[in-house]
Chains A and B, each alone.
Chain A
Amino acid sequence: MFVSAYSTISHQASFQRHGFSAKLTALSAPSEVVHPDYASLIPPMYRRRMTDVLKMSIACTMDCLAQVSVEQPGAIIVGTSMGCSTFTQRFLDKIYAARQGGRISPTSFILSTHNSIAGQISLLLGNHNYNMTHTQNSVSFEQGLMDAMLHLKDGLDNVLAGGADEAINALYNIHTRLGVENIHPSSGASFFLLTAEAKASPTVAVIDVESHGLISDAPSLISTFLQTNHLSESEIDLVLYASSFRTQVSELTALFQAEQLFDYQSISGSYLTNSAFAMAYGVDILHQGDFPFRDRQIRRILICNQVIPENIGLILLEAKTG
């Protein structure tokens, strides 16, 4: 499975700036999404009522399709943990306001469902194909990516897959579960156009993806994942990891050298589908071939997402030439 296009909106200048991985730095203070000018990307009648998670997702979609001149993806797959949080909260406010009776406008209800991201993309494109939404908290994106991989094996092509979430004030305390008080809740969307054949050279292949829930032994799952792909730990040039607990870093240092490890969450900020950002970041690094934070050539990247410690997402990326 090849990544023929990638697009990401984050709290740093990443949208339509391929090569961004060399320029981004660790987020230190609370920050905001660096939004592109949506006017050129989303028709006004759609844009008007959209909240961040919808706008970001659609902008990334349009960018991906434009990069490879594909009009209709063979499938549209979205991973989102919290979905359309803003509309959900807005509708709760409306219910509360109308608690003594009175009519409630349905607009925020109909856009509050998790699948309104994928649904709005299909509407905008007039796309009648497979349309799926995975919502497994911190591994929602990995579940979607697995779905995409199965479809490519089944003969579908040009599969659009992405991960997106938006932070809202009322959700900030979810981060207590993540144990990341020092990392600020963030938002982001990252989308990919995935193909069975490489559309350009050099390119990046997604070699494998897995996710596991309610785990007890992350290191053995990581080792097994690498063995399945005939690799040893030392053959991984860079491990992009996200973790919040010191114990997990020590789990990783038991397998990898310190210079192999890099915490992607310091760049993306904290949200439950930030492994999609990690994939865009990883693809971008592989396109450059090097990474300013490490003095080595990067050909193979493992994304190791334990944003929620009892769940693990593993994505293996490899640069391909010729």
Chain B
Amino acid sequence: MDIFVTSIGLVSAAGNGIEENLLSLQSGRTGIQQSEPSGLMLGEVLMSNASIVSSYQLPPADYSRTTLLGIVAATEAWGSSRTVDSSLRTGIVSSTSVGGLDRMEAYYFEGKRANHQQTHPMMTHDNGGTTEHIARALGISGHIGTISTACSSGANAIMQGARMILANKLDRVLVGGVDPLAHFNINGFRSLGIYDPAHCRPFDASRSGLNLGEGAAYLVLENAESMKRMASQPICRLTGWNNSTDAYHQTASSANGKGAALAMERALKKADLTPSAIDYLNAHGTGTRNNDLSESMAIRRIFGDQIPPFSSTKAFTGHTLAAAGAIEAVYCVLAIEHGSIFPNLNFATAMEETALIPATRSLNGQRLQHVLSNSFGFGGNCSSLIFSNL
């Protein structure tokens, strides 16, 4: 059974909406800049919470930014005309790592300052609640799910939705992920000492860390029956997926990239493809010493000397955590749709260990049949997705 991607939506530092993101990718324009007052290089979405509430005419509530960024991207993907046809089994599988923590931390710190335990808003920490808000805004009820596997979450939500369609549990499903910048994750990655004070340089020998970002992306997956009934047009197909585990360390990736290699190998098997069939690889490529080396080793292990054109697009958006897998999946869909290979910004010198050289110039007019996307997270969580032309 084919699983079709029929619509996409995205918000990131590289742009609000699909058009702006595509333009940024094709013209090499990064969305990362120095943020005040922290001085950190961040990929911020330049929309305030209040402006989202007002432009999407949301009923007044104490919204998490997770919910709000999610609504922006999910609305673009879902479209305004997609009223729920009750005869089609419809669902949403979203993902987030921050969830309602941005609201929770605000109240928690406020309570601490006032020297009392302000507890009520802790319930906004509930990740699933942010997905319910997004579902409610779009008129989706029934199958509502949320995945939280740190930085691979977005890819896993897409995989989960695809499996629900394949098992004939759903006809169409909105899948994706969202994470906002919050004190919690900004300080978390600071505590790990893996920020690059300048623009991140994925796969470069001199890379020294990541830039954090925020954003959201969603895709509509449909089976043939749903496409017929909704009169939707396919953009491409989702043909391969896998989640495997590195089982090496809670945060660090293994030197040989075992989990990453397993995810790519098993996703290729699922899609019934050989490595040589992959025309573009969108790497996880965070820009940290550890991730990029480990991923490079895994890429070498799978592709040998026949490395497909590849790039990390993290230097456009920053590392958007749970949203990353979904944003990069949408970038893969755009790559197929527009025949584009997006550049790996800020690359100059290949790392000695693997000598991998990513695509550094924007290429258009390519015929891309199969595209692979990698996403890896804490807990050794490794996921690969394969999108294929129609």
Contact = CB atoms under 8 A, between A and B. Distances in A.
Interface in B95-142: 97, 99, 101, 104-105, 108-109, 112, 117, 119-120, 122-123, 125-129, 131-132, 135-136, 140-142
Contacts of B245: 76, 119, 122, 127-131
Nearest to A104: B191
A99 B187 CA distance: 10
Interface string A105-139: 11001111111101110110111111111111101
B105 A95 contact: yes
A21 interface: no
A212 B142 contact: yes
A83 interface: yes
Given A81-B128, A95-B183, A212-B142, A128 B246 contact: yes
A82 B379 contact: no
A119 B380 contact: yes
Contacts of A213: 132, 135, 141-144
B257 interface: no
A121 to B, nearest CB: 9
Interface stretch (B24-32, B146-154, B220-228, B281-289): B146-154
B247 A128 contact: yes
B56 interface: no
Contact of A128 (B140, B142, B184, B262): B262
Contacts of B140: 214
A176 interface: yes
Given A91-B188, A137-B126, A120 B147 contact: no
Interface stretch (A5-13, A165-173, A188-196, A292-300): A165-173
A95 B126 contact: no
Contact of B123 (A98, A112, A177, A311): A177
B354 to A, nearest CB: 22
A135 B148 contact: yes
Given A109-B191, A128-B245, A135 B120 contact: no
Contacts of A171: 119, 122-123
16 contacts: A91-B188, A95-B187, A106-B191, A110-B250, A110-B251, A113-B378, A116-B379, A123-B380, A135-B126, A136-B127, A136-B145, A140-B128, A150-B169, A174-B122, A212-B144, A213-B141
Interface of A: 76, 81-83, 88-89, 91-92, 94-96, 98-99, 103-106, 109-116, 118-120, 122-123, 125-137, 139-140, 143, 146-147, 150, 153-154, 169-174, 176-177, 211-216, 310-311
